[in-house]
Structure 1
Amino acid sequence: MLRALLLENLHPLATSILAAQGIEVITRTGSLDESELIDALQGVHLLGIRSKTHVTEKVVANAPDLLAIGAYCIGTNQIDLAAAGHRGVAAFNAPFSNTRSVVEIALADIIALTRRQPVLNRSMHEGVWNKTSEGAHEVRGRTLGIIGYGNIGTQLSVLAENLGMSVVFYDTAEKLALGNARRMETIDELLETADIVTLHVDGRDGNAGLFGAKQFARMRPGAVFLNLSRGFVVDDAVLAEAISSGHLAGAAVDVFPVEPKRRGDTFVSPLQNMANVILTPHTGGSTEEAQEAIGVFVSNKLRDYLATGTTTLSVNVPNLALEQTPSSHRLAHLHSNTPGVLAAVNAVLANHGVNIEGQILATRGDLGYVVTDVGSDIAPDAVDALANMSQTVRLRLLS
């Protein structure tokens, strides 16, 4: 029986979709460290995680039964994608499912900070009636600077313009500006222009330490700052200094360099108890709607990969969109991308009297993926011959 391990409080639909395919599903509420994960993955074929569980090369090397990993979130930097791919473990994520939720919390934070709602809220809870317009502004007419113009950044750009904001953005890749948004040539140019700066970058290593003292000093006096992307991108201690000095008017932070493993654990940050600072526990994409959509999307990807071999939107192996052919048997062959592999696979099949009904090949970097449908049973010695090819990374007989 196939077995799946789902960690970090995934939506119930993530479990039910896999269980409906006859997969035994084991769920745990928190994340696991490296040694715990290695132990838990023995005899497990599918792993589902969010952002706190790290799948290292050592984990993959010690999980011989693992076929696929589902990241039930946008980011995949918590997975060693190359190590997984080279051991025949496909990885999938949910690049679009929580976009709207993150955009909405960004807008909420922008309005709350610009109107100094955290300060007024605290005063009211302390019994102080502090009715004042000092430091409070409309967002209409202000300039929003978006660093990272991907799925979240672009949707935020459109909605911010609908609120009457001007939008400038910076991205390392060439991106089409939506609406009246303007591309900035450098981050410094954006920082000197924007009243509000919001980060929506991915988790690649090159983004570590992206924001420090130099960048905060470049920001306009009285500007506000948001980080809803990755904790290691920003030096929170320097951000706290920029706020306490009065250079920045406030900040909203949803991600942190070190985050607790489980709900209810102790959390410590230099940004705690500061005026006009909103801290949230990595909940930018944590709405019921988003988590349901993510649970359905990623579990369907894992299910389809097991059933048909389809790898559409996989983040580490060649992408093939496949449908099951009921009358055929299917071989899914992940291999090193070297010349002559396809000819070698077909030669093995021909030598064993196997007639090919359909075949499709895709490559991605140093990996190749060929899926072959045949109309007759495949003899065990033919399967062994394919599995023992020097280029073979993983061979699966799907039907």
Structure 2
Amino acid sequence: MPKVLISDKMDPNAAAIFRMRGVEVDEITGKTPEELKAIIGQYDGLAIRSSTKVTQEILDAATNLKVVGRAGIGVDNVDIPAASAKGVVVMNTPFGNSITTAEHAIALMFALARQLPEANAQTQQGLWPKNGFMGVEVTGKTLGLIGAGNIGSIVASRALGLKMKVVAFDPFLTPERAVEMGVEKVDLDTLLDRADFITLHTPLTDQTRNILSKENLAKTKKGVRIVNCARGGLVDEAALKAALDSGHVAGAALDVFESEPAKDSPLFGTPNFICTPHLGASTNEAQVNVALQVAEQMADFLVSGGVTNALNMPSLSAEEAPKLKPYMALAEKLGSLIGQLEGDAITAVAVEVEGHAAELNQKPITAAVLAGLMRVYSDTVNMVNAPFLAKERGLDVREVRHDREGDYQTLVRVTVTTANGDKSVAGTLFGHASPRLVELFGIKVEADLDGTMLYIVNQDAPGFIGRLGSTLGEAQVNIGTFHLGRRNQGGEAALLLSVDGAVTEGVLADICKLAGVKTVKLLRFA
């Protein structure tokens, strides 16, 4: 039974879902990093919120860990490259708190427009400052969205309902999607020049860090109001304070800070500045939603192999997983075969699918090919870290889908580029379940790839098979299965033998001495 640790406070229904799905779960919160390191080796899964830091040191101690699930969208507290290198899937729940965060941004926009916090404070002091606060309407104003993904699109829909005009800057926003959302796609400078309100809805990356820098704040319309409920670090806080002090920015509201918890921000005490302590996802509904979603996603992965909202491997639904399982087994064996035969000579990989395989999600098939291929370099490789290792080695990976009928109802072909040209292997499924090699470097060979096998290339000639059998028999090596193919009569032949017992270097050397032998390799398949 898989075992999961919930290390941050989470809705109790999450643990109930794990148990209902056949996953053992421990709820142990508030552990220090050292305490977490001491126990993490017991678990297959780790469910977290924002408190637990999944560092390289934690991952090194997590000897059985297969998945980290973040209840929420931000994964700044997870070392994703280290997790990928270790073969650990990292998931989040990007949609569970989207509405809550979008509503918080709208709430802060209204608070800025009508100076609600200051008006509330002075009224409660008995001052009755009716003439001291002159707000602005949002109706007819232009809202500038920096980031038009899931949360940004919800904010846009709410703003349009308030009769605002919406312009959006997002490099990934297509013109068609912009029309569908009812927004105008613009570049960043145009947004800064036109927006009366700006809200940010983008992750923190090297490209987005300080996207509202001193220089960009200076490009904004005088009197602009800025709201950030996304990530700290998107706004230069010192530059924002200066813009507020000068009056160029009429108001700003931050729910996130570059350093959290924020104890001494230069913005504190600045007139027309509102802040909240990272409350974007803090509603009862959101906390329940993300906890339930992360439990369902992790249970799907640990029980059935489904992968949802993963940040470091292709998604694979629980419904797809059983259908794809035999194809992924075939792909991994083909990758393992060509990896063992060509090894360090490989500079590029192409994965082609046709027939039934072309109707499926190809990403997991490609990942399985890479997992098999990269096993010659690492004994801990899996579908998560295989693409990472391939990229690290500089391999160019390409996917090809053929909409055509071939000799087989389904076919997966793996072609590698080497200094000696392209080499390819191909396989199919017998009975829709059993992986079978059908082509090896242009030679038709039908073979199961399993256990210990000998790969031999020789010149086709009478008597060779007999001599090979005698050599193996004298070495007490039993032949399990025998698969032979050739280009033409008297030409090059390829032989795959499954064998029982140990095949020593001496036996390989004796085979190499047989007349006509060109290549001999020992292969091992899981």
Aligned to 1:231: 232
- What CA distance in whole angstroms lies between the structure 1 residues aligned with 2:365 and 2:308? 11
Aligned to 1:61: 60
- What CA distance in whole angstroms lies between the structure 2 residues aligned with 1:173 and 1:299? 30
Q: 188-197 or 35-44, which moves further after superposition?
A: 35-44
Deviation, structure 1 residue 57:
3.2
- What CA distance in whole angstroms lies between the structure 2 residues aligned with 1:342 and 1:81? 26
- What CA distance in whole angstroms lies between the structure 2 residues aligned with 1:136 and 1:218? 23
On the 8 A contact 1:118/1:275 being kept in 2, the answer is no
Deviation, structure 1 residue 29:
4.5
Residue type of the alignment partner of 1:189: T
Deviation, structure 1 residue 274:
2.8
Q: 1:202-256 CA distances to partner (integer Å, 9 max, x unpaired)?
A: 1333322222211222222221111111112222222222212222121111111
Deviation, structure 1 residue 36:
4.8
- What CA distance in whole angstroms lies between the structure 2 residues aligned with 1:383 and 1:252? 63
- What CA distance in whole angstroms lies between the structure 2 residues aligned with 1:23 and 1:51? 23
Structure 1 residue 12 corresponds to structure 2 residue 8: no
Report the 3-state secondary structure (helix = DSSP H, G, I; strand = E; otherwise coil) of the residue aligned with 2:168.
strand
1:205–1:362 CA distance, 2 compared to 1 (3 A): farther
- What CA distance in whole angstroms lies between the structure 2 residues aligned with 1:147 and 1:61? 37
- What CA distance in whole angstroms lies between the structure 2 residues aligned with 1:325 and 1:199? 36
Higher strand share: 2
1:149–1:32 CA distance, 2 compared to 1 (3 A): farther
1:36–1:245 CA distance, 2 compared to 1 (3 A): farther
Aligned to 2:281: 285
On the 8 A contact 1:77/1:204 being kept in 2, the answer is no
Aligned to 2:75: 76
Q: 225-234 or 79-88, which moves further after superposition?
A: 79-88
On the 8 A contact 1:8/1:28 being kept in 2, the answer is yes
- Give the percent of matched residue pairs that are identical in Structure 1 and Structure 2: 34
1:165–1:391 CA distance, 2 compared to 1 (3 A): farther
Structure 1 residue 340 corresponds to structure 2 residue 334: yes
Report the 3-state secondary structure (helix = DSSP H, G, I; strand = E; otherwise coil) of the residue aligned with 1:26.
strand
On the 8 A contact 2:2/2:302 being kept in 1, the answer is no
Deviation, structure 1 residue 283:
1.3
- What CA distance in whole angstroms lies between the structure 2 residues aligned with 1:32 and 1:168? 45
Aligned to 2:498: none
Deviation, structure 1 residue 122:
1.7
- What CA distance in whole angstroms lies between the structure 1 residues aligned with 2:18 and 2:204? 28
Aligned to 2:266: 270
- TM-score (norm. length: structure 2): 0.61
Aligned to 1:168: 167
Report the 3-state secondary structure (helix = DSSP H, G, I; strand = E; otherwise coil) of the residue aligned with 2:366.
strand
On the 8 A contact 1:76/1:203 being kept in 2, the answer is no
Aligned to 1:209: 210
- What CA distance in whole angstroms lies between the structure 2 residues aligned with 1:211 and 1:312? 33
Unpaired stretches in structure 1, ≥5 consecutive residues: 261-265, 346-357, 376-381
Q: 1:120-157 CA distances to partner (integer Å, 9 max, x unpaired)?
A: 11211322110027530111011100000100111111
1:27–1:243 CA distance, 2 compared to 1 (3 A): farther
Deviation, structure 1 residue 37:
3.9
**Which structure 2 residues correspond to residues 76-95 of structure 1 after superposition, within 5 A?**
76-95=75-94
Residue type of the alignment partner of 2:184: R
Structure 1 residue 183 corresponds to structure 2 residue 185: yes
On the 8 A contact 1:75/1:203 being kept in 2, the answer is no
On the 8 A contact 2:199/2:227 being kept in 1, the answer is yes
Q: 1:368-396 CA distances to partner (integer Å, 9 max, x unpaired)?
A: 549x9979xxxxxx7999xxx9999xx9x
- What CA distance in whole angstroms lies between the structure 2 residues aligned with 1:365 and 1:217? 50
1:14–1:182 CA distance, 2 compared to 1 (3 A): same
Please tell me whether Structure 1 or Structure 2 has the larger radius of gyration of its CA atoms: 2
Residue type of the alignment partner of 2:259: V
Query: Over the residues paired in the alignment, what is the CA RMSD in angstroms?
Result: 3.6
Structure 1 residue 117 corresponds to structure 2 residue 116: yes
On the 8 A contact 1:118/1:277 being kept in 2, the answer is no
- What CA distance in whole angstroms lies between the structure 2 residues aligned with 1:331 and 1:338? 10
Aligned to 1:378: none
- What CA distance in whole angstroms lies between the structure 1 residues aligned with 2:230 and 2:366? 30
**Which structure 2 residues correspond to residues 277-356 of structure 1 after superposition, within 5 A?**
277-323=273-319, 340-341=334-335
On the 8 A contact 2:328/2:365 being kept in 1, the answer is no
Aligned to 1:197: 198
More RCO (CA 8 Å, sep 6+): 1
- What CA distance in whole angstroms lies between the structure 2 residues aligned with 1:38 and 1:242? 45
Report the 3-state secondary structure (helix = DSSP H, G, I; strand = E; otherwise coil) of the residue aligned with 1:5.
strand
On the 8 A contact 1:318/1:367 being kept in 2, the answer is no
Q: 105-114 or 276-285, which moves further after superposition?
A: 276-285
On the 8 A contact 2:252/2:274 being kept in 1, the answer is yes
**Which structure 2 residues correspond to residues 32-71 of structure 1 after superposition, within 5 A?**
33=33, 35-71=34-70
- TM-score (norm. length: structure 1): 0.79
Aligned length: 361
Deviation, structure 1 residue 324:
9.5
- What CA distance in whole angstroms lies between the structure 2 residues aligned with 1:49 and 1:153? 25
1:249–1:70 CA distance, 2 compared to 1 (3 A): same
Unpaired stretches in structure 2, ≥5 consecutive residues: 340-356, 372-382, 385-428, 435-449, 454-521
